[in-house]
Amino acid sequence: MGQQKYSSQRTRTQHTYEFFKERQNDPAWRDDFLRIQAIRRRNRLLKIGLSFLLLLAIFIIFKVNQTSITALISHKTNQTANQLNNNSATATTASSTTANNQQASTSTVITNYARYRAYSGNYENSTGSYSLNFAAGTLTTKQQLFHFDKVILHPDGSLIINVHENSDYTGGQTLYLSILFAPANKKIQRNWQTNAPITDSSDTAINRFSLAKSSDGGKTFNMAPAYAAFEQNSTTIFNKN
């Protein structure tokens, strides 16, 4: 039987009212009505329960994902912090190593010349001879006497000895020289004025030196010719005789 159609909502309501009024005292119909009402109420409660369970499941999944994301973010943050700490420690170690290396490569001013008295003696080259006396702090030629002003020890074992000439020999005009000295078994590794590496081709079996001049009264010295003498093996060498 097809669903009955009504011309208006009012007609439908009137018909429904008359329909229930006619059957409200019929026990069989009332039992069916109550049974159907109970089924509808149960279905409604079941739907509500399922909706609640669905919402609970969504909430649990959200919380689990949120916990996982929070843990991941925390892990990444800790990992980044550890990396930064490691980088900082590495940078600090590198800085300390650099500082130590720089300290190890720093030249030292020597005030006690006598400690190098073993290097004293006669030295000669193709043009003349010299007498070097560390105990007295002097460099002597046939006609000139120079006095030590400053002695500097470089990391490769070489010495810079700045000297000035006794004015008694020059009529009041002072001559300034710088001695680049390398002891036996020591090789000059670099030009310590420019910090450029050099190749020492001189005879490392003996003490030897070269000279540099000053054009500003001993304030600075042109060390290039002195280092070139070591590269070209044209130094003044110790006379063993």
- Rounded CA gap, 108 and 159, in Å? 10
Task: Report the number of secondary-structure helices (H) and strands (E) in the chain.
Answer: 3, 11
Beta bridge partners of 179: 161, 211
Tell how strand 145-153 and strand 138-140 pair up: antiparallel
Beta-carbon count within 10 A of 230 CB: 23
> Residue 208 class from Cβ within 10 Å (0-12 exposed, 13-18 middle, 19+ buried)?
buried
Q: What spatial distance separates the first Cα and last Cα of the chain, rounded to whole Å?
A: 143
Give me the tens of pLDDT residue by residue for the chain, a chain 241 residues long.
456 555 556 665 655 556 665 666 666 666 766 777 788 888 888 888 888 888 888 888 887 777 777 777 777 777 776 777 666 655 555 554 444 444 446 889 999 999 999 999 999 998 889 999 999 999 999 889 999 999 999 999 999 999 999 766 556 688 999 999 999 999 999 999 999 999 999 999 999 999 999 999 999 999 999 999 999 999 999 988 7
- Confidence (pTM): 0.57
Q: By the 8 A CB rule, do 187 and 200 touch?
A: yes
Q: Which helix (H) or strand (E) holds 34?
A: helix 27-104
